[in-house]
């Protein structure tokens, strides 16, 4: 040790001037490298922002397919001479079809590429929107329903595949943030779409159908030119082996995965059911709220969900314990607020406050579920697992309007005691069955 020290001192003494010059030059080079690195990071951050925006357009386009039509459901009843139940099928058939076709889209995206599924899906989605608009103009409920079914097939290859794409493109905290943004975008679409739908309906009631292609084209351009999908590793999976692998995953992790699927489905069942409930009561006495004002009222609970979703996605990173805690808090908020609404649903201000609290609870639950489910499997099976999850979410959305319509025919008491009970059951299932590791993979 002493010999080494003296040798170093001797070298330093003999080459003091040279060392200072070299040191200064080294600092200068280091500074240049740091500047270049900072510029590179700046460019990377800018590119990341544009990628986030491009990905966010996909779920936003998807959610417009349902939420934008909610304000015009009463108009549809009057103009086409159909029942309230038939109008609810315009939402339900879209979601059921999407739910059925999502696993197929998931497999195709695992076998080929995510973009090769998303791009044609957006094209079909927009084209079917035009057909739906003409069905409304011609007064044909049959054409309208067929077009909505085709839109459901297109919807199957959009947001569910985007979730798997996020898992492919990003890791760690960036992935959680991107998934939180995806859920927030989904919620933002829900906030904006009732307002947009109500505003477009002021021109003519079927105008919202013709808005779909416009949004689809914008998303299509963003996906094609901004998103750079990572190359696939290895050979595409054969169907038999692929299905066997999925069953193995469900056998191994099904205890918490199925619970997570159910929780996500229930959250959206309650959300869309509550929106349908509000849409129906707002136009009747004593409220008589219609048009853009109704869209603004419907947007209030959704805004709470959007802000919460984005904040949650930014905070959770890969912290499994935090995710579990936030999910339990969110489901508790949903249970308590919906339970209180059993007795306090006649005052609109109190009802809006309670439904907004429930939506905030949803905003705590969904980003955590998204991150846990996306991180639960390898890249090669991610498309199918996220698709199964999305499929059940769609079925939850599909069940909302018709089941709420049936419950509303009984009483508002029956509406809220049912959803509060379901939220309580889900809270118990999550508490006992979902216990993630401290850090999600």
Non-local (6+) Cβ contacts of 49 within 8 A are none
Judge whether 250 and 259 are in contact, CB under 8 Å: no
pLDDT the model gives residue 47: 66
pLDDT the model gives residue 61: 81
Question: How many other CB atoms are there within 10 angstroms of residue 161's CB atom?
Answer: 29
The more confidently predicted of residues 34 and 313 is 313
Distance CA 441, CA 176 (A): 11
Instruction: Answer whether residue 375 shows pLDDT above 70.
Output: yes
pLDDT tens by residue, 253-271: 888 889 999 999 999 899 8
pLDDT tens by residue, 72-89: 888 888 898 888 888 888
Tell me the HSE value of 350 on the side-chain side, using a 13 A CA sphere. 10
Confidence band of 3 (pLDDT split at 50, 70, 90): very low
pLDDT tens by residue, 390-418: 778 877 877 887 888 889 888 889 999 99
Determine the average pLDDT of the residues in 133-139. 92
Q: Write out the two tokens for 244.
A: 């066997």
Strand positions, DSSP E, 66-143: none
Taking only Cα atoms into account, the Rg of the chain, rounded to an integer number of angstroms, comes to 26
pLDDT the model gives residue 29: 52
Chain centroid offset of residue 8 CA: 61
The more confidently predicted of residues 434 and 239 is 434
What pTM did the predictor assign? 0.69
Judge whether 332 and 387 are in contact, CB under 8 Å: no
DSSP assignment letter at 286: T
Burial class of residue 409 in the structure, from the number of CB atoms within 10 Å of its CB (0-12 exposed, 13-18 middle, 19+ buried): exposed
Most confident of 18-22, 98-102, 145-149: 145-149
Non-local (6+) Cβ contacts of 82 within 8 A are 76, 141
Domain boundaries, the chain: 56-433
Query: What backbone phi and psi angles, to 5 degrees, belong to 284?
Result: -100, 170
Instruction: Answer whether residue 136 shows pLDDT above 80.
Output: yes
Distance CA 264, CA 248 (A): 22
Share of the chain above pLDDT 70, in %: 85
- DSSP notation for 29-91: HHHHHHHHHHHHHHHHHHHHHHHHHHHHHHHHHHHHHHHTTGGGHHHHHHHHT--HHHHHHHH
Question: How many other CB atoms are there within 10 angstroms of residue 89's CB atom?
Answer: 19
Please tell me the CATH superfamily of domain 56-433, with its number. Answer: MFS general substrate transporter like domains (1.20.1250.20)
Query: What backbone phi and psi angles, to 5 degrees, belong to 319?
Result: -80, 100
Distance CA 334, CA 422 (A): 10
Judge whether 212 and 151 are in contact, CB under 8 Å: yes
Distance CA 272, CA 63 (A): 11
Confidence band of 9 (pLDDT split at 50, 70, 90): very low
Nearest 10 degrees: Cα torsion 394, 422, 320, 374: -10
Question: How many other CB atoms are there within 10 angstroms of residue 105's CB atom?
Answer: 28
Distance CA 390, CA 156 (A): 9
Residue of 125, 127, 126, 105 lying closest to 116 (CA atoms): 105
pLDDT tens by residue, 164-204: 888 788 877 787 778 777 777 776 777 777 778 888 888 88
Question: Rounded mean pLDDT of the chain?
Answer: 81
Query: What backbone phi and psi angles, to 5 degrees, belong to 202?
Result: -65, -30
Nearest 10 degrees: Cα torsion 425, 431, 436, 437: 180
Chain centroid offset of residue 363 CA: 10
Instruction: Answer whether residue 140 shows pLDDT above 60.
Output: yes
Distance CA 109, CA 58 (A): 15
């Amino acid at each position: 040790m002493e010999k080494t020290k003296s040798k170093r001192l001797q070298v330093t003494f003999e080459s003091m001037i040279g060392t200072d010059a070299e040191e200064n030059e080294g600092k200068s080079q280091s500074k240049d490298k740091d500047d270049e690195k900072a510029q590179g990071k700046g460019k990377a951050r800018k590119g990341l922002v544009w990628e986030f925006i491009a990905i966010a357009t996909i779920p936003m386009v998807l959610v417009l397919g349902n939420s934008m039509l909610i304000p015009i459901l009463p108009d549809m009843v009057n103009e086409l001479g159909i029942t309230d139940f038939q109008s609810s099928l315009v939402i339900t058939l879209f979601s059921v079809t999407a739910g059925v076709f999502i696993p197929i889209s998931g497999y195709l995206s695992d076998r080929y590429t995510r973009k090769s599924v998303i791009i044609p899906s957006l094209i079909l989605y927009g084209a079917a929107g035009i057909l739906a608009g003409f069905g409304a103009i011609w007064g044909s409920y049959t054409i309208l329903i067929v077009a909505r079914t085709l839109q459901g097939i297109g919807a199957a290859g959009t947001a569910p595949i985007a979730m798997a794409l996020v898992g492919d493109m990003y890791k760690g905290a960036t992935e959680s943030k991107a998934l939180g943004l995806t859920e927030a975008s989904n919620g933002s679409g829900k906030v904006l779409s009732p307002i947009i739908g109500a505003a477009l309906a002021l021109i003519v009631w079927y105008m919202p159908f013709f808005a779909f292609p416009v949004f689809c084209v914008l998303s299509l351009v963003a996906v094609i030119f901004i998103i750079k999908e990572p190359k696939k590793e290895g050979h595409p999976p054969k169907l038999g082996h692929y299905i066997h692998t999925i069953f193995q995953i469900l056998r191994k992790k099904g205890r918490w995965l199925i619970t997570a699927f159910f929780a996500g489905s229930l959250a959206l069942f309650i959300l869309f059911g509550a929106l349908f409930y509000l849409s129906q009561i707002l136009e009747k006495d004593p409220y008589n709220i219609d048009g853009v004002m109704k869209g603004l009222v419907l947007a209030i609970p959704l805004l709470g969900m959007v802000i919460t979703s984005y904040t949650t996605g930014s905070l959770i990173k890969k912290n499994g314990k935090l995710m579990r805690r936030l999910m339990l808090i969110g489901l508790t908020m949903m249970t308590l607020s919906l339970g209180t609404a059993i007795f306090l649903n006649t005052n609109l201000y109190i009802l809006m406050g309670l439904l907004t609290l429930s939506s905030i609870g949803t905003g705590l639950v969904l980003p955590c579920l998204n991150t846990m489910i996306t991180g639960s499997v390898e890249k090669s099976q991610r498309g199918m697992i996220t698709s199964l999850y999305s499929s059940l979410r769609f079925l939850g959305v599909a069940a909302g309007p018709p089941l709420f319509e049936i419950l509303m025919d009984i009483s508002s008491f029956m509406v809220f005691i049912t959803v509060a009970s379901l939220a309580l059951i889900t809270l118990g299932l999550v508490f006992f069955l979902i216990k993630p590791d401290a850090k999600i993979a």
